[in-house]
Amino acid sequence: MANLTTSTQTSLSCEEAITRAIQFFTTEKWRATTQSSRSATFEGRPPIPIGSIILMLVLIPTVIGFFIMYFLVVRKMYRFQNLVVTANPIEKGAEVLITYPSYAKKLVKQFIDSLPKLL
């Protein structure tokens, strides 16, 4: 999966933007792994698609089908992926840069909408 990047400018300081990011993403099932005054890294797992679960239930009666689904879908989807929030100071606030996996796009948009915009 390719990572996406988005940025926004906010009237908050760098430290306050990172603090809000930590509060927001940890309540949304992301675990903060590293943190500094200007960046934070979160670790999360992608959701397993419902279609894959249904297909796995259909193929479970065969042992070969179960192993195929396990190694091709579940094992690949169960890896941790990172979401990185970086804040850089600008004249009247901070620029917040977020690098995230594609399945977290909706969550990142909610976070950006929750930040006060730069006037």
Q: Name the maximum alpha-carbon separation found in the chain.
A: 63
Residue 80: CB atoms within 10 Å:
11
Residue 13 — pLDDT band, cuts 50, 70, 90? very high
The pTM assigned to this predicted structure is 0.78
Could you list the residue range(s) of the whole structural domain that residue 56 is in? 47-78
User: Is residue 15 located within the same domain as residue 62?
Assistant: no
Residues 6+ apart with CB under 8 A from 85: 17, 18, 21, 25, 39, 40, 41, 42, 96, 97, 98
User: Is residue 70 located within the same domain as residue 85?
Assistant: no
**Domain total for the chain?**
2
Residue 111 — pLDDT band, cuts 50, 70, 90? very high
User: Is residue 101 located within the same domain as residue 87?
Assistant: yes
Q: How many Å apart are CA 10 and CA 20, to the nearest integer?
A: 12
Instruction: Give, in degrees to the nearest 5, the angle at Cα 21 between 15 and 25.
Output: 155
Residue 37: CB atoms within 10 Å:
11
List pLDDT tens digits, range 26-72. 998 899 999 999 999 999 877 767 776 777 677 667 777 777 777 77
Which CATH number goes with the domain that contains 1? 3.30.530.20
User: Is residue 91 located within the same domain as residue 116?
Assistant: yes
User: Is residue 26 located within the same domain as residue 7?
Assistant: yes
User: What percent of the chain shows pLDDT beyond 70?
Assistant: 84
User: Is residue 66 located within the same domain as residue 35?
Assistant: no
